[in-house]
């Protein structure tokens, strides 16, 4: 698998030199990073946002008839029945007492639906989050895998920024970027305040549009909309102590930094270096519609990816309660 921009010899280490890192902040054995900011006070802050009893689930459907939005290079899931009524009709299965049941198996990318990335999912210079050796990824992640995030869970006050709505569009354009200034301007227009340690959800309309567009057009010259790298943006995430970034795109950021040509620099600047948890391919359209209608853009967010030993990520169906 090889994705390249047109620039010459891009270098992530050079791009991120001098930017903040949270390595060691939560001890030498930490594997959940900025999720440590979600202490009991943050959970209660989230609970205090529940005012209406409305609930939302944010996962995309595995096996949707129109397909699955996937980062280039990944393949759709394959779900197969290994036992169903057909087996009983063909006399290939029988259980005492006329009991029957259906069983199935699934083969899929762990980053194939709405998912949490393990903090060690992406790296450079042979070091993962907290300085763990990239050799620890071989044959299954023994450091900074998805398991510690799954064991911990993610709960706190969260805010949705609807960047597409703010720009008067149903969906942002291919490669359309935005930064923290845009997030703050949108928040202000929505009448909500982004507070330190808030879980941040950003809607671009991108994943929702996958189900409306022809696949050929969707993937042509692939570069999704999203956060665009800048040193100030990374500093802002650090100062705001954002624990978790959730978007309705596949990578949470535009695929290439326009100036340096480095691919997905924020994965390294935010996830590897600051320990910010990344949640991608979320479905935010219904939630955004509701927030626009009732004016409540802050809520309780709760999610726990599947507990997969050694996994580089895991599917999740996050819940929002307003
Ligand atoms: C990559 O971008 C490589 O992975 P993901 O978007 O799943 O974090």
pLDDT tens readout for residues 64-92: 999 999 998 999 999 999 999 999 999 99
Three-class secondary structure of residue 156 per DSSP: strand
Number of structural domains, the chain? 2
Expressed in angstroms and rounded, the spacing between residue 112 Cα and the centre of ligand 1 is 10
The position carrying tokens 């102590």 is 241
Expressed in angstroms and rounded, the spacing between residue 45 Cα and the centre of ligand 1 is 30
- CA distance linking residue 168 with residue 186, whole number of Å: 11
| Whether residues 179 and 275 fall in one domain | yes
CB 112 within 8 A of CB 74: yes
pTM: 0.96
* Residues contacting residue 14 through CB under 8 Å, at least 6 positions apart: 260
**Substitution site in 117, 119, 256 for ligand 1 pocket (most atoms within 8 Å of beta carbon):** 117
In a domain, 230, yes or no: yes
Report the CATH number at residue 279: 3.50.30.50
Three-class secondary structure of residue 265 per DSSP: helix
In a domain, 173, yes or no: yes
| Whether residues 198 and 248 fall in one domain | yes
| Whether residues 99 and 231 fall in one domain | no
| Whether residues 212 and 81 fall in one domain | no
In a domain, 188, yes or no: yes
**Substitution site in 72, 122, 206, 246 for ligand 1 pocket (most atoms within 8 Å of beta carbon):** 122
Take atom 1 of ligand 1 and give the residue whose Cα is closest: 251
Q: How many CB atoms lie within 10 A of CB 92?
A: 9
Expressed in angstroms and rounded, the spacing between residue 130 Cα and the centre of ligand 1 is 19
Ligand 1 atom with the smallest distance to the CA of 250 is 6
In a domain, 224, yes or no: yes
| Whether residues 152 and 274 fall in one domain | yes
In a domain, 223, yes or no: yes
Its domain, for residue 89, covers: 75-108
Take atom 6 of ligand 1 and give the residue whose Cα is closest: 251
Nearest-CA neighbor of 247 among 199, 213, 312, 182? 199
In a domain, 8, yes or no: no
| Whether residues 123 and 263 fall in one domain | yes
Take atom 5 of ligand 1 and give the residue whose Cα is closest: 251
Expressed in angstroms and rounded, the spacing between residue 111 Cα and the centre of ligand 1 is 7
Model confidence over 141-199: pLDDT tens digits?
999 999 999 999 999 999 999 999 999 999 999 999 999 999 999 999 999 999 999 99
Mean pLDDT by groups of 10 residues along the chain of 322 residues: 56 96 98 98 98 98 96 94 98 96 98 97 98 98 98 98 98 97 98 98 98 95 94 98 98 92 96 98 98 98 98 98 98
Q: Which of 90, 108, 126 is the last residue of a domain?
A: 108
| Whether residues 87 and 203 fall in one domain | no
Expressed in angstroms and rounded, the spacing between residue 268 Cα and the centre of ligand 1 is 11
Which pLDDT belongs to residue 180?
A: 98
| Whether residues 171 and 153 fall in one domain | yes
| Whether residues 48 and 87 fall in one domain | no
User: Which residues, listed in sequence order, are joined to residue 57 by a DSSP beta bridge?
Assistant: 319
| Whether residues 116 and 257 fall in one domain | yes
| Whether residues 188 and 131 fall in one domain | yes
**Substitution site in 120, 121, 226 for ligand 1 pocket (most atoms within 8 Å of beta carbon):** 121
Which pLDDT belongs to residue 3?
A: 56
Expressed in angstroms and rounded, the spacing between residue 90 Cα and the centre of ligand 1 is 44
Q: Which residues lie with the beta carbon below 6 Å from any ligand 1 atom?
A: 71, 111, 117, 121, 250-251, 264, 267, 278, 280
In a domain, 137, yes or no: yes
Expressed in angstroms and rounded, the spacing between residue 122 Cα and the centre of ligand 1 is 8
In a domain, 35, yes or no: yes
| Whether residues 292 and 148 fall in one domain | yes
Expressed in angstroms and rounded, the spacing between residue 48 Cα and the centre of ligand 1 is 33
Three-class secondary structure of residue 190 per DSSP: helix
Take atom 7 of ligand 1 and give the residue whose Cα is closest: 111
CB 313 within 8 A of CB 121: yes
């Amino acid at each position: 698998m090889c994705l390249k921009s047109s620039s010459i010899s891009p270098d992530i280490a050079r791009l991120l030199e001098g930017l903040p890192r949270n390595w060691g902040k939560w001890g030498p054995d930490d594997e959940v990073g900025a999720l440590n900011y979600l202490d009991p006070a943050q959970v209660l802050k989230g609970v205090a946002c529940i005012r209406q009893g409305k609930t939302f689930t944010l996962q995309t459907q595995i096996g949707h008839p129109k397909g699955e939005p996937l980062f280039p290079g990944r393949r759709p899931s394959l779900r197969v029945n290994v036992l169903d009524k057909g087996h009983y009709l063909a006399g290939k299965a029988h259980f005492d007492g006329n009991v029957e049941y259906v069983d199935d198996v699934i083969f899929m990318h762990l980053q194939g639906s709405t998912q949490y990335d393990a903090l060690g999912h992406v790296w450079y210079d042979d070091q993962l989050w907290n300085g763990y050796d990239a050799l620890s990824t071989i044959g299954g992640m023994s450091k900074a895998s998805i398991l510690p995030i799954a064991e911990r869970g993610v709960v706190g006050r969260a805010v949705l920024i609807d960047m597409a709505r703010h720009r008067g569009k149903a969906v942002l354009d291919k490669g359309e970027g935005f930064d923290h200034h845009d997030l703050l301007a949108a928040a202000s227009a929505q009448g909500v305040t982004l507070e330190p340690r808030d879980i941040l959800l950003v809607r671009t309309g991108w994943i929702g549009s996958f189900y409306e567009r022809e696949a050929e057009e969707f993937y042509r010259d692939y570069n999704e909309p999203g956060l665009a790298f800048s040193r100030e943006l990374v500093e802002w995430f650090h100062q705001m102590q954002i624990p978790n970034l959730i978007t309705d795109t596949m990578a949470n950021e535009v695929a290439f930094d326009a100036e340096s040509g480095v691919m997905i620099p924020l994965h390294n600047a935010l996830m590897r270096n600051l320990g910010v948890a990344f949640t991608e391919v979320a479905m935010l359209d219904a939630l955004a519609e509701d927030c626009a209608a009732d004016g409540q853009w802050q809520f309780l967010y709760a999610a726990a990816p599947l507990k997969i030993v050694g996994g580089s990520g895991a599917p999740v169906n996050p819940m929002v309660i307003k």
